[in-house]
Amino acid sequence: MNELRVLFAAISVGNMAKIIGHLQAEDCEVHYEQASDEVTLDGHLQQNWDVLLLGSSAELTIETVVYALRCRTLDIPLIVLNDGMEPLPLAEAMRLGAQDCIALDQMERLLPSMQREMVSAILRSNLREQVVADYLMQEIDQLILRGYDMRSLNERICRRMAELFDLKLVWIGARMEDGRVEPLASAGESAYLEGIGVRWDDTPQGQGITGRSIRGNKAETMSLDSPRFALWRERAERYGMRSALAMPLGIKNEVAGALVMYSAHENTFDKLTISRLSAFAGRVTVAMLGAQEQQELRLMQAAMNNAANAMFITRRDGVIEWMNEALSRYSGYTTDEITGSNPRIFNSGEHQPSFWSEMWTTVLDGNHWRGEIVNRSRTGGLYTVAQSISPLYDGKGELTHFLAVQQDISEKKRLEEEIHYLAYHDSLTHLPNRMLFRDRVQQAIAQAQRTQTKLAVMFIDLDGFKAVNDLHGHNNGDCLLESVAERIRVCVRSGDTVARLGGDEFTVLLRDVKDRESIRGVAKKLLDIAVQPYALDGEAEATVSFSIGISIYPEDGKNFDALLSRADQAMYKAKQGGKNRHLFCSEQT
């Protein structure tokens, strides 16, 4: 059973019970609260929610709720439920900041929409965390190279981690020979550490996450209700801490201390977050070694080799003299293959000569350079890095070398592409969604205006789809929708657009149409192909048909909303007139 944390806002008790019942029938365990005004909404937003469902209210409008979420920097999917006589158009709801808008009589759309938007929110969160992590890693690298002393650097790391990751407390502790863990630097609720008595040995004070992390040389996480947290629970509650993470500091098997973080939330430190934060432990280790100046870079080689970012030093002419192990991991080349070579060894051919010319001009003038580079590995694969290049000078002040630091952002790029794709495509059928369909129609209208041509918008609704869902289950219903999407695609030209608005509603944009007969020809093909049986699980089959409404630019409307609305109206007339038929907007009686 899937757990869902749902915050209902401005939704009646009756409608709320109806929604909960529907979700429970879909095998969901629903944990919920109800907000009826801004005060109760603000109170409930202090908890974690998977989705916020908003009804109609004079006080809790979409603008009010979106503003409340932004004030708390919360990315909770907002879905508007239409239960009134004048439903709010989806386009308007999305313009105001909602992710979707669903009528209460289209309950079958609710759970898929919630799941889609929850996945999108997770991806957005992952991307934000990745961007923050990338930025902080590069900042720490620069601070190390600028020669910050150990104490200042550790305090800076703690402060920036607390700020960027919204943590209650971050502290760095050193492993002492007598079994104590001595705080070296901290940021946030530092008063928590006063007289705390943390140890790493096998004593009661050494059974917390810090002691266990140092003894086991691995990351440890713990929630407030854990029995091992008992010694510190009262103190943690006083400072609003709900979970903690400790990461060992050291090189290979030599543990020198721990980096410890506390959050106000219970589920902050999941596996992905721990993986990201682990990279900072390496940076703190470097700081604890006390690197002071650029001339000590060679002495830092052992520490740098354990860094997550790739680093290498070139002569002024570009020949690589020094590199760390991460560069081999990124590129697949061995140390012997890289040392003595030029960075051109990683050239992917994806950048224009002007890109490299601008980069070399910048660094040879003694300036820092930062940008994204697509490299090619030894095996031929492409990977993207955020690279910064810093000039290095000798004792006479002459530029002699360059230091390059690379952060692999391939995963961030993939997340960006995935989020962009999800923003404009339906996750089930992979067809364009309403937003992309709107954009395509608007582009087509602009072209039709220039060329004095026409276009048509079709609104397609499945006849009998609810019966398939009820009889054969939602998995079969989803398979049928995928088949429907493919059948519609084969009936139109490559330059036309097929989209899924949600549920069993599809739309088609026909560009550069000659006359009504050519449009009727497409509609007839759609009606004929729709009624052919659909194979389901086992040997089961299902049959549905289409009701199609059609509007034409420019006579039926001169913008997207007008064309879609009139095609929608014509579709309902076609459905009322017997289904399995098409109707032009102008044919409505």
Spatial distance between the Cα atoms of 39 and 10, rounded to a whole number of angstroms: 12
Residue with tokens 């740098």: 304
pLDDT of res. 294: 39
Which domains are present in the chain? Answer: 2-119 (3.40.50.2300), 146-294 (3.30.450.40), 309-409 (3.30.450.20), 425-587 (3.30.70.270)
Query: Is residue 433 a contact partner of residue 501, using CB atoms and an 8 Å limit?
Result: yes
Q: What is the pLDDT of residues 514-537, one digit of tens each?
A: 899 999 999 999 999 999 999 988
Mean pLDDT, range 27-46, rounded to an integer: 90
Q: Identify the band that residue 156 occupies on the pLDDT scale cut at 50, 70 and 90.
A: confident
What is the CA 111 to chain-centroid distance, rounded?
20
Q: Identify the band that residue 142 occupies on the pLDDT scale cut at 50, 70 and 90.
A: low
Q: Give the CA angle between residues 33, 13, 474 to the nearest 5°.
A: 80
Which phi and psi (to 5°) does residue 95 adopt?
-60, -35
pLDDT cut 90: percent of the chain above it: 42
E strands, 165-319, are: 169-175, 181-188, 220-223, 243-251, 254-263, 310-315
Between 220 and 138, the higher pLDDT residue: 220
Average pLDDT, the chain: 85
pLDDT of res. 303: 46
Q: What is the pLDDT of residues 282-331, one digit of tens each?
A: 666 655 554 333 334 444 444 455 456 788 889 999 999 888 888 888 99
Q: Is the pLDDT of residue 464 over 50?
A: yes
Tokens, residue 407: 């952060």
SS3 assignment, position 79: strand
Ranges 15-19, 131-135, 516-520: which has the least confidence: 131-135
pLDDT cut 70: percent of the chain above it: 89
Q: Identify the band that residue 118 occupies on the pLDDT scale cut at 50, 70 and 90.
A: confident
Collect all residues with Cβ–Cβ distance below 8 Å to 35 and sequence separation of at least 6: 7, 8, 9, 10, 41, 43, 44, 60
E strands, 225-329, are: 243-251, 254-263, 310-315, 320-323
- Residue 207 falls in which region: left (phi positive, over 0), alpha (psi -120 to 50) or beta: alpha
pLDDT of res. 574: 92
Mean pLDDT, range 18-37, rounded to an integer: 90
Integer CA distances (angstroms), 449 to 49, 452, 519, in order: 46, 5, 19
Between 116 and 446, the higher pLDDT residue: 446
Q: Is the pLDDT of residue 371 over 60?
A: yes
Question: From the CB of residue 70, how many other CB atoms can be counted at a distance below 10 Å?
Answer: 11
Tokens, residue 232: 């510190």
Integer CA distances (angstroms), 459 to 372, 435, 503, in order: 43, 15, 13
Spatial distance between the Cα atoms of 54 and 8, rounded to a whole number of angstroms: 6
Residue with tokens 């386009």: 91
